[in-house]
Structure 1
Amino acid sequence: MTATPTTPSTEFERTHCGRCGGSGSYSYCQMHGSTCFGCAGTGKKLTKRGAAAYAWFKEQRTVRADQVVAGNRIHSGGAKFTVTEISEPHVGAYVGAERQPVMYVTFANADGKFRYSTMLDSKVEVLPRTEADRVAALRAAFAYQDTLGKMGQPLKNKAKVSAD
């Protein structure tokens, strides 16, 4: 049995990449050079425990698209932006030649240059508004990580962390 750390975590638990041995480099290819795909060139990757805590952290910030309000800063569609305009839900999907009743909503940023449309029931990550909120969310995730065992499962003797 492994001992759990007695000091609180300050980052998601990581270990050296087993593919590249922690160097960040692996086999060379024309497109990506010698970047290791196991760790994306960082030399470290999340352990099972760290990955479980990170997944919990992301899940705490995820809401359905129909729950986003103007003023939220979101990360979706590969971009981060502040929502200033939300369209009314509208129908528009074709499967073959048939129109399907799928509801979409479109988010726009302040200057209108970025628009992102998604289905109402899809998941969107809402980012914290302030640095203090971000730090509090990370501390909660690290506290949750401290309740997990080596394999990323909650320990039986640790108190359950509730979502705030």
Structure 2
Amino acid sequence: MEKAEFVVGKQAHFPKLIPPPCNIYDPTTHCSQVKGGNAALLFVALYLVAIGSAGVKATSPAYGADQFEEKNPKEAREMSSFFNWLLLAGCLGTVASLTLIVWIQDNKVWDKGFGISAIAMLVGIMVFVAGLPQYRIHVVQGSNVIIEIIQVWI
């Protein structure tokens, strides 16, 4: 059986961010570590992705549930359907990102995969913003939002 070879190649769009070639399976090659501004850029980008992803995953179900009146039988059924569609959309997004986007990044160029993801997010934001006039927005009055957030942690 032939040993699989993994070579770190061109993963960035800007030449300054492209590391020198490195074969992680060959102990004689020297792989350079990300340092300085490039490391800062890497970690800021990773943390922003994590924060954004966590924010969307945490708020989407609650925000969607606010769009339905539980006491109305028709809307109660629609809320159940909403959660089914939300879960399906999340699963299909995961499948697309783990197959299509990874294939593009492995066989084409990384920046095209990130570009497709960025365009998909932009379209999602535009759809969300376009629907804002129709959303039910519940404004909490008479309470301190900071105190409510602290109460959740306690």
Instruction: Return the TM-score normalized by structure 2.
Output: 0.25
More helix by share: 2
More strand by share: 1
Instruction: Return the TM-score normalized by structure 1.
Output: 0.23
